[in-house]
Structure 1
């Protein structure tokens, strides 16, 4: 049977059927119901997820509704957006137009390219600022490096990089910006290889650098910085210590790699796309000795005993200035690694140590008046300090410690004890000692040498402590005590492994003279310039690569001339015409 139609009297009167002006009022044409309308349960689930995670957008909400179980059909992105706008959970904004000059690129497989960078903005309660060394795999977006460091030095960056290489394997390429921790191509006065580039070269990694001022080239690691800053670092204004920051960063890194979908990966997890490189058939990882050798820690002082003569040295008590805040005698001990340039900078003050000491760990004893530089407990040099009390407090916050008594200075050297000093030989082979210039050899011009004074002998040492030359000591004990930057001498030098090479011109009779000893080489070589190798017992004369003769060394004199003299200009004969 068909249902009977209700009578006209029982129907609800429609607006336009009402008499008068009410029947002419504007009305909406929206239907009272729609079969595809989002159910209230789905809208409640969307709003609940959004309120619990205010940073999630419609794509993440759609993914989580599908993963956690939606009470109905999973809505589209536009539906989720309209629900959020309708409930006031987001403010509708006009979409920005995508730039056409950006070109998106991605490597085809994991471990093909890593992007590395450094991010800051972490403040400790002590006032120090920390940095985070980061690295992201280009294909999978897997975070391979997230190490918190006090100072983003080249050594700290290389330690974090080496740890990632040992854990995940060696990538084919790395991409970084042009920071001095990653490249030395902009070093002054000339380009130099930094430790990071050395690690890449010795392990077969292609080190690539972006063009200057193009951060979009390393956009994947920059995007990781944005996520790290927004979802972790911005939530805490001041952190208690470095260990707390590292613990929080490690937890965020695990969440980022395993439980956070990425829109650029079609909502896949980085851990699902990342695989380490197999180690079968691979060469062992090669690291510089500066990374494999731990920083030396000073041994603890023994407890005083009844038999001990001198009490243990303790830091001097702090004496405050008139304002009651700044200490007068605040001294700090810190350790720093010499960069590849050899120019160590601490709070704006620079200390020249030379490229030969690059990678060494140097100890600094500093106050507001003087700075002592020490290597393995031996003082290298002492310089006036340009550090303020604020700088010293900053060094304490960056890992320094209150210093004890100052190290031995030049005025406290034992009389008559051997001393050493570093000097740069000038263009004519002279060095400055005790206010006077002393000749040590024209062939050493421009080189930095170590001068060791031991009683009546002056030894010239190379950077590896190889004996270059021995001369009589031209200084008296009183003058030796006044040498600037002198330090207690190290072990005696080792003899040179290479013989000394000098040049001599053969006379018209086929003879050359070296250290007052005559050597006959033949009249056929008259006028030629030959090379003489001066060993301990022999003289070997070479014409280029050809050995002409070898004679025993009978002289005991020192070689004073190393280059041939310039030929004398021909004399002008003036005479009266007859």
Structure 2
């Protein structure tokens, strides 16, 4: 007799038939080697679904209470596609900044990226805890300096970048682009950083010939960089040969520059354009880019702090001593009635000044010309690119101002840009020297400036204005702080009006774009970079503005201070709301569902609805 193997469904069916024929469940369970509960389950499933009910079923749970919500997973994927270099740590910080709740763990974010094919799973070579990290306990105790290549110019040459970071805070203190990193230009960049931030206690560099002369042979003496450190009481440290990990922080900064600035950038049009791009990147790196090694804090937050030992910062900053060849001309404050501008000295008689470098470096001289006490004015037209060059200094005004006639007020300290009507557009530090001012006067492009000095913002001013570039994540920098004004304004040049209470963001036509709480008191607002007395208040937008609002569980929401009821059928939905001067129109998936008259005059302060995104329902 041939043996026939019965399937699992047939065996369950035979067991059920025996039970329904009157056999005891205990005896049937013993013959088939299962528990009594399994036999009862088979009988119940057969009675409910027949023979098909005895087939194998999935043991997967019907609900996953600990699974990442779909809305949060979609947001993670969207952020990763928009920023391919953001890893789980940066994405976790960005979700926390946006108020996402519940906040997933870093491992959950990694699994989401792997599940959606956005990263490739790799085996970690070493754990982060296995590395021994060292850093100075406070800022200004150690700077790391190095020279980086790879900045290509349009003419085919390769420029170099002189860099320096603070060891404790990773704050970029030096970012100077040069054609050739000579020892004199390296020292000039180092001196400019010390004038801006103070004298550090120590400096760590590699063994390049710009930094040390110990490998220059038996007759090699002290190089200029070593002399500057010695005369200012700075302890100069060098790495061991062929050990780049000793200066790992500055090498990691170079990696960020290559990945985030140079990887997708075209060759720079000129040395000045490269310097402008590098300075913009350094400002974003210091004030608006979270650093993973700092627990997602900004480098500026750790650099501009008081010392932990109670010593005041002013007591720690020693006077700066530089050799005569590195003494930069410092123009004194403009007097009330300055002396008339003298005639420019012919180029052939200026024997005490060396040749000017190709880029606007500090002029190395030991004398102060009377022209340093005087300013000049130059009339120009903004070019189509929005980049204006004056005396070798690059000035960004934006392509939206192309063709606009402007007047430049220039001294050796400040450079102000005015419209023909007298309104100030921009104020920056001047990089022009006495020689540059004399050359502009000799060429006939400039004229002596008015005797009255340019008024600066006063503490009694009711409000001030500053011009800022909105970063890719919708933030601007104010005194080292990142102020979020909305990702929809990313990449735009805006004017911010600050009165100590409210920060009003407006465009070139002074049209209000957004109003947020002012993060600084008025006493600090007037000291901001490029601050100027505020003009008239911005005008409210005359065109309708579309915003997003979340409907609460009771079926209403608020916009411009007005409560709008749409019914509980729309609870937890995100609706589009169009606001104009007279009416408020509510849209659901593009279809208007309600129109109400506008009864308030409040300003629109929030465009996107970032709260409760996990509760969004598709209606």
- The structure with the largest alpha-carbon Rg is 1
Q: With CA pairs under 8 Å and 6+ residues apart, which has the higher RCO, 1 or 2?
A: 2
More helix by share: 2
What is the TM-score with the length of structure 2 in the denominator? 0.44
